[in-house]
C-alpha cells in the first residue's frame, strides 16, 4: 500500500525547493537589471604622431557606452607588426601608463591629449607617408572591437599636436 501522506510530504518539500530556486533566479535577474550589459561604440578616431618621440603616435577617439553596465578598456593592439601599444592617462599634468580605462554605463569617454589615450610605439617609418591601420581594442565585458584609423588621420609632414 502507498503511504499517501508521505508522498504529499515529499511533494511539498519539492515544491518548497522549487519556489526557493525560482525566487533566487528572480532576485538574480532583478540584480541583472541594475547592472546590465555595456553597449560600446567607437567614433571620431584619429591618430597623431608624437611631437616628442620619433616613431610614436597617440590615438584619440570617443568611446560611447549606451548600455546599462560599465565596461573597462584593458588593452589595444595594431595590425602593424612590431608595434607596442600602451594605455596612457594624464595625472597631475603628466602622462602616465595605466592598466585600464573605465567606461561607465550611459556615458562617453573621450580619449584625448590631456586625458586617457592610446599610445603606439615602434611605428615603422612608412607611417609618415600616411598609411592607415587597424586598431583592436580589448574590453573587459564587450570583448574585442576593431576599428580603422584612416590614412588621412595619420599626419604626414611635421608633427601636429591637437589640444581639445
7-20 burial, b if ≥16 CB within 10 A, otherwise e? eeeeeeeeeeeeee
59 or 142, CB closer to Cu ion? 59
Q: How far is the CB of 117 from Cu ion (least distance, A)?
A: 6
Q: How far is the CB of 96 from Cu ion (least distance, A)?
A: 8
Burial class (CB in 10 A: 0-12, 13-18, 19+), 65: buried
Residues lying near Cu ion in the complex (CB under 5 A):
88, 95, 119
85 or 119, CB closer to Cu ion? 119
37 or 162, CB closer to Cu ion? 162
64 or 95, CB closer to Cu ion? 95
Cβ neighbour number for residue 131 with a 10 Å cutoff: 14
Q: How far is the CB of 41 from Cu ion (least distance, A)?
A: 23
Q: How far is the CB of 56 from Cu ion (least distance, A)?
A: 8
Amino acid at each position: 500500500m502507498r503511504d499517501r501522506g508521505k508522498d504529499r510530504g515529499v511533494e511539498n518539500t519539492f515544491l518548497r525547493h522549487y519556489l526557493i530556486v525560482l525566487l533566487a533566479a528572480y532576485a538574480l535577474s532583478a540584480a541583472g537589471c541594475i547592472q546590465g550589459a555595456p553597449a560600446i561604440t567607437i567614433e571620431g578616431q584619429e591618430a597623431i604622431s608624437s611631437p616628442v618621440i620619433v616613431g610614436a603616435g597617440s590615438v584619440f577617439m570617443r568611446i560611447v557606452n549606451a548600455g546599462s553596465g560599465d565596461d573597462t578598456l584593458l588593452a589595444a593592439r595594431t595590425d602593424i607588426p612590431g608595434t607596442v601599444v600602451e594605455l596612457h592617462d594624464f595625472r597631475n599634468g603628466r602622462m602616465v601608463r595605466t592598466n585600464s580605462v573605465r567606461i561607465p554605463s550611459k556615458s562617453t569617454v573621450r580619449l584625448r591629449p590631456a586625458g586617457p589615450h592610446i599610445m603606439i610605439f615602434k611605428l615603422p617609418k612608412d607611417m609618415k607617408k600616411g598609411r592607415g591601420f587597424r586598431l583592436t581594442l580589448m574590453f573587459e565585458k564587450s570583448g574585442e572591437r576593431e576599428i580603422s584609423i584612416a590614412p588621412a588621420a595619420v599626419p604626414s609632414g611635421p608633427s601636429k599636436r591637437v589640444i581639445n
